Amino acid sequence: MAIIGIDLGTTNSACGVLTEQGIQLIPNRLGEILTPSVVGLDESGKLLVGKTAKERLINHSNTTVAAFKRLMGTDHKIALGKQQFSATELSSLILRALKEDAETFLNEEITEAVISVPAYFNDNQRHATKLAGELAGLKVERLINEPTSAAIAYGLHDKREGHFLILDLGGGTFDVSILEFFDGIMEVHASAGDNFLGGEDFVEAMIDNVLEELGIKKEALKPSERQNLYMQMETAKRRVSQQPEQRLELHLAGRSMEWSVTPEWFEKLSTPLLLRAKRPIERTMRDADLPPQKIDEVVLVGGSTRMAQFRSMVGRMFGRLPACHLDPDTVVAMGAAIQAGLKEKNSALDDIVLTDVCPYTLGTGIVNEDSPQLGSYFMPIVDRNTVVPVSVVRRVWTAADNQTQLCIDVYQGENRLVKKNIYLGELTVPVPKKPKGEEAADIRYTYDMNGLLEVDVTVVSTGKTFNKLIEFTPGALTEVQKAEALEKLSQLKFHPRKDEKNQAVIARGERLYESSLGEQRDYIAKLLSTFDSVLDRQKPTEILKARTEISEIFDRLDNEDWI
């Protein structure tokens, strides 16, 4: 039974499998490799996932959601029509669609997957990702960091040894990793990143500037106007390097106006975000203790690395052009497929050893006797960029006379004060009454390849050990809640695969209709009406021909500047 590799992205997702012939990226129900990470409901309450849902973001924004990956590991709820969903539940719907696509393509049941996560995903977010896989009907024994996944694809692609700097700028996150590939070993030396920096932020910067210049508040826009503006700016961002000027027709707050997009304007808006991107790059270089000249290749991953401004910044930092000969949109899925093949022990792949690192420092709070008003000090137990799996023991002593228990709280972060780090959970253990400092406990943190933390506390005098896998995570579900979530998700019915292409065409036409005016709007309405009539006749050959023709027309309209 095949194990698939999945890139669960903020903007797009993809999956693949390792076969005897090599990596096979799996097409979705529309025949495309990339599935937009968008979920929606149609008028009948049926579930829409991917491109069809994305086309409905403009005129059905109350029943369509996107970019929810940034909320993984939180307890934030997202409205989808009249229902409320967590980011974990919405992600499970994306995974479920990918699972079904893989089963159709491979003609076998899929029960297990390797899923990629940003290297800077914390413990909560990793738990949420595994839970999303479980809700989708997948056993997820292995999570793989996205930069590591990309490096595997590159390292096994050309069989070269050396140091790789992986820069992964996707739709919502930015990851940086330095890896060394030698003698069949892929070793991560350091990683850093920014969970709130991605292509979406460049688009938001464009939108904010346009609205500020026009004196329009974002709250004054209708949801459809806001989404239409987003799509116009997203398109303009992709074209800005190829065109000296783009003139857009905007329809905002009941007004129509023109806006000029130039490379100079975009570069000015991008500068603060590019400066943010430089910080984790420089931090990773320091942590790995490697000068720029020791980096053999700089590898770009993620669709947002196509921006000329980003590539130029990287070129100036390292004095060379970065590598991008593998598709940045699919290279993570390729690496995840290879890792899945490793797990399956596929005979087509020579074994490699993969090492990874803990992206954050993990530790506990200890009494601050110097400045009690500042709160507890942070005592690191596992330092950031320690190779994992790792198991580290630190000893602590009681801080008061006749103390009866020790509260071992678990934090991640880099600040000397625990209140400025991220709380993960706690474990309280009983200790015998003794004078201050005479009773001790050994705290062991065990951090595995999936980025999951186990805490063991052994009371020295009694020899008793108490254990906990961190579970106090926002958005985590009890077994009862998990069963309820599965029941809720099972009631959402996917559109039949055979109807999906037609639904995507209709959704795309509605989006174009919403974006246009006058004669163009009438023309699109006529096209959609004609297509509806063809669908009503239920003749497959006729439907295929009509769908092909209308898709070609929509392709032309999508490339015109009036959208």
Whether 69 is catalytic: yes
- 47 alpha carbon, distance to own chain's centre: 21
Burial code (b: 16+ CB inside 10 Å, e: under 16) for 395-417 equals ebbbeeeebeebebbbbbbeeeb
Whether 536 is catalytic: no
Residues in CB range of 38: below 8 A, 6 or more apart: 49, 50, 51, 53, 54, 57, 64, 65, 66
| Spatial CA neighbour of 122 closest among 474, 523, 467 | 474
CA distance 125 to 88: 9
Whether 194 is catalytic: no
Single out the catalytic residue among 51, 69, 468, 501. Answer: 69
Q: How many CA atoms lie within 13 A of 524 on its CB side?
A: 23
Pairing state of beta strands 465-469 and 38-41? unpaired
| Spatial CA neighbour of 558 closest among 529, 530, 520, 526 | 520
Residues in CB range of 458: below 8 A, 6 or more apart: 441, 442, 444, 464, 465, 466
Torsion angle, alpha carbons of 461, 463, 467, 472, to 10: -10
DSSP string of 207-256?
Answer: HHHHHHHHT--GGGS-HHHHHHHHHHHHHHHHHTTT-S-EEEEEEETTEE
Q: At what angle do helices 263-288 and 308-318 cross, to 10 degrees?
A: 40
Single out the catalytic residue among 7, 101, 123, 225. Answer: 7
- Three-state SS for 435? coil
Single out the catalytic residue among 42, 55, 134, 146. Answer: 146
Answer yes or no: are the C-beta atoms of 110 and 102 closer than 8 Å.
yes
Whether 499 is catalytic: no
Query: What amino acid positions are annotated as catalytic residues?
Result: 7, 69, 146, 168
